Amino acid sequence: MLSNMLRTHYTNQISPQEIGEGEQIKVAGWVYEVRDLGGICFVVVRDREGKAQVTLVKKKTDSELFDFSRKLIREAVISVTGTVKPSDKAPNGFEIIPSEINLLNNADSPLPMDTTGKVEAELDTRLDARYIDLRKPKTNAIFRIRHEVLRSVRDFLTCNGFIETTTPKVVATATEGGTSLFPITYFMTEAFLNQSPQLFKQILMSSGMDNVFEIGPIFRAEEHDTRRHLNEATSIDIESSFSDHYDVMQILEDMLSQVYLNVKQNCESQLDVLDLDLEVPKTPFLKLKYEEAINIVNSESDEELEWGEDLGTIAENLVGQDVFERTGQSHYFIIDWPTEIKPFYAMGYEDNAEISKSFDLMHRRMELASGAQRVHEYDILKNRIEAKGLNPDNFDFYLDAFRYGMPPHSGWGVGCERLLMTMTEVDNIRDVVLFPRDRRRLSP
Ligand code: AMO
């Protein structure tokens, strides 16, 4: 149990049955509310885990302590020392009878925003004052779930033989071609913020590490201003040797299902706060061919998508809805994409190179991940880079790893925020990032 100078218990660790009569405990946190009724004063203290009521009866309390408590300001930081008394009327079935209250730091007034959740603030106000916004149970709950998601991912992949890696975020070349890179000055040369660990995780396959994962930032300089795009996101990436795309799809669906299960079991109170009844996705997920997806779009809308066109948001929603109506499941894969619209590293089928061994993991609302079996032969890869209009010389550091024994391999990248958004049913991706980086936001 946590115990330090100013605190022996979080508020949710206090149980009157377990704490002996007269035993002194200490809680520390923020003044949520002061209710001064004249002869009695209630101070509600809030910490990370919840709230506790501190009760001061004028006749029974030292007058200096009573007067001091009545004047406490909302959101000031205090430590309360006292005994615990069962009480039917108090919110958690107990109250703290204080012998001492220490003011550790005061709070200015008025506050930049309400902390109780009763008055809704605009997203921008909330993000500007994130330190206050996070004091609200709903915001706090999302980030406790985010912690559980990342913990579960690490745990699942580690238990399945994956080694955690961290690769550079400052790089010399574009990962996947594309123009969406943030240039930076690296001493005397131009460098970029990496848009994906893709090339590094593939290089590691040649090293014999076999199965690796990375959870880290990716930077995309796209000018999107949507509810599902960030310019800095967190990507969960794996790469696996001697695996094909079906092998890694199975890892992905099993991982997702385990993550949901862990959140359901370990975040009960957070799910309550968010009023969510989490349904654990059933495996295996439906695997819909790109061609079938196109047919669904074309039969259900006026849109005429042609082979080789990417699916836009509207098309994704149509397909997601169709799958949901047929299977009752929100998650599914779209597989076998045209090679021409996938990056150079996606492998084509042996009997039809126009179709790639690639997939996207979809949620009814949006794309969550993409992946593929990769080209592992040097000559083919070099040709593919050229065919995309890129200069293979810029990829020497990557291509070299394919010359001295590169095994067949596959992998994927999941957007952590997209996963969280769909899990917690929030509408805006900025709600699941502590300090979002988007087109307009660089601070805090
Ligand atoms: P891709 O570019 O599809 O694939 O990205 C993988 C997943 O990352 C998330 N994502 C984003 N989330 C928020 N804002 C963004 N701007 C953003 N961009 C991407 C999405 C997306 O599905 N190298 C490949 C992965 C692989 O093949 O292993 C890649 O990066 O959820």
Given pLDDT bands bounded at 50, 70 and 90, which one contains residue 91?
confident
Share of the chain above pLDDT 70, in %: 98
Q: What pLDDT digit, counting tens, does each position of 409-443 carry?
A: 999 999 999 999 999 999 999 999 999 999 999 99
DSSP E strands in 124-188: the ranges are 163-164, 170-171, 182-186
Task: Return the higher-pLDDT residue of 356 and 16.
Answer: 356
Task: Assess contact for 52 and 86: CB atoms under 8 A.
Answer: no
- pLDDT of 384 > 70? The answer is yes
Q: 131-432 has which fold?
A: BirA Bifunctional Protein; domain 2 (3.30.930)
Question: Domain extents for the chain?
Answer: 11-105, 131-432
pLDDT value, residue 2: 61
Pocket test for ligand 1, best of 149, 176, 195, 196 (most atoms within 8 A of CB): 196
pLDDT digits (tens, 9 = 90+) for 94-123: 999 999 999 999 999 999 998 887 888 999
Q: Per-residue confidence at 178, pLDDT binned at 50, 70, 90?
A: low
258's CB contacts (< 8 A; 6+ apart) are: 152, 156
Integer Cα distance of 200 and 357 in angstroms: 20
Would you state the CATH architecture of domain 11-105? Beta Barrel (2.40)
**Which atom, in ligand 1's list, is nearest to the CA of 197?**
23
Query: What is the residue with the minimal CA distance to atom 20 of ligand 1?
Result: 415
Higher-confidence position of 314 and 373: 373
Nearest CA to ligand 1 atom 27: 371
- The ligand 1 atom at the shortest distance from the C-alpha of residue 412 is 28
Where are any strands of DSSP class E within 294-403?
331-335, 348-349, 352-356, 358-363, 366-373
From CA 413, how far away is CA 370, in angstroms rounded?
A: 6
Mean pLDDT of the chain: 95
Q: Which of 218, 335, 361 to mutate to test the pocket of ligand 1 (most atoms within 8 A of CB)?
A: 218
Instruction: Out of 215, 227, 370, 374, give the residue to mutate to test ligand 1, the one with the largest number of ligand atoms within 8 Å of its CB.
Output: 370
What atom of ligand 1 comes closest to residue 360's alpha carbon? 22
How confident is the model over 10-68, as pLDDT tens digits?
999 998 888 888 899 999 999 999 999 999 999 999 999 999 999 999 999 999 999 99
CA of residue 408 to ligand 1 center, whole Å: 22
CA of 205 to the centre of ligand 1 (A): 20
What residue type is assigned to position 353 of the chain? A
Are the C-beta atoms of residues 33 and 72 closer than 8 Å to each other?
no
Determine the Cα–Cα distance for residues 41 and 54; give it in Å rounded to an integer. 8
Tokens of 401: 């790893």
Are 85 and 97 within 8 A, CB to CB? yes
Pocket of ligand 1 (CB under 6 A): 196, 198, 220, 222, 229-230, 233, 235, 237, 367-372, 411-413, 415, 417-418
What size, in residues, is the chain?
444
Mutate to test the pocket of ligand 1, among 169, 182, 235 (most ligand atoms within 8 A of CB): 235
